[in-house]
Amino acid sequence: MTGSPARVEGTLTSWDDDRGFGFLTPASGRGRAFVHITAFSRGTARPRVGDAYSYEVDRHGDRGPAAVRVSSVGSSWTAPRGRAPRPTRAGRVALVVGLLLVVAVAVVVGVVASTGPSARIDGALPWLVATAVALGLVTAAVYAVDKSAARRGRRRVPERVLLLLGLLGGWPGALAAQQLLRHKTSKRSFQLAFWGTVAVNVAAVTAASALVG
């Protein structure tokens, strides 16, 4: 049985208030840690460069060491209340684009199934739809788990797992979860990789339908 992780005291040395993240540097001056606004204790004032905090370090994230369970020095950490985020304008556009892609792929598969000489697609269509729905739901659930872990300062789901689920066909659920939970929407490198997996999956499904039909 292991005890609680050691807490570190440090100073906020970098902060992007618009995007809600920055870096904490410990008193030793070495080993700064990434910190997101969701890691701060309930009731903590808006972070400012130079503020002192107590925190734990999670070394299992994709960004490197991350500060979790962050509270002002001398106070205890309390999990922040959950919020009901709403998609931004860009998020709503992304949802519309995703919906149009789903409709386009469904139309292509449906046309091939109804006009192709082979009945293989037609017979497998219900199973393909059920599998796609299940993958979407599982992927959305994994995003929700990762969002909860980020808010509560727990171990995160690796980004490669989130991207793999999208590549396998769970991207509609991933897209919905990203926008409805406002999760993974501000990290540009992740969004580029995510939309890359969407493009690969859509191309693969379309090509496979054409070959089988």
What is the DSSP track for 126-185? Answer: HHHHHHHHHHHHHHHHHHHHHHHHHHHT-PPPPHHHHHHHIIIIIHHHHHHHHHHHT-S-
The residues with which 40 forms a beta bridge, in sequence order, are 70
Secondary element (H or E) of residue 68:
strand 66-72
Higher pLDDT, 84 or 77: 77
Q: What are phi and psi of 47, to 5 degrees?
A: -60, 145
Top-confidence range, 76-80, 92-96, 173-177, 184-188: 173-177
Secondary element (H or E) of residue 97:
helix 89-115
* Mean pLDDT of all residues in 31-59: 88
Query: Residue 188 corresponds to which tokens in the numbers above?
Result: 């540009």
User: What is the distance of C-alpha 6 from the center of its chain?
Assistant: 27
Per-residue confidence band for 199, with pLDDT thresholds at 50, 70 and 90: very high
Tell me: pLDDT of 82 over 70.
Answer: no
* Mean pLDDT of all residues in 34-48: 87
Mean residue pLDDT of the chain comes to: 81
The answer to whether 44 touches 71, Cβ cutoff 8 Å, is yes
Tell me: pLDDT of 42 over 70.
Answer: yes
> Which residue shows structure tokens 């931004």?
88
Helices first, then strands: H and E counts in the chain: 5, 5
Closest among 41, 40, 3, 4 to 20, alpha carbons compared:
40
> Which residue shows structure tokens 């037609």?
122
Q: What is the pLDDT of residues 96-133, one digit of tens each?
A: 888 888 877 777 666 666 665 555 555 566 677 788 88
In this predicted structure, what is the pLDDT of residue 160? 93
Tell me: pLDDT of 152 over 90.
Answer: no
Ordered domains of the chain (ranges, CATH): 8-72 (2.40.50.140), 89-212 (no CATH)
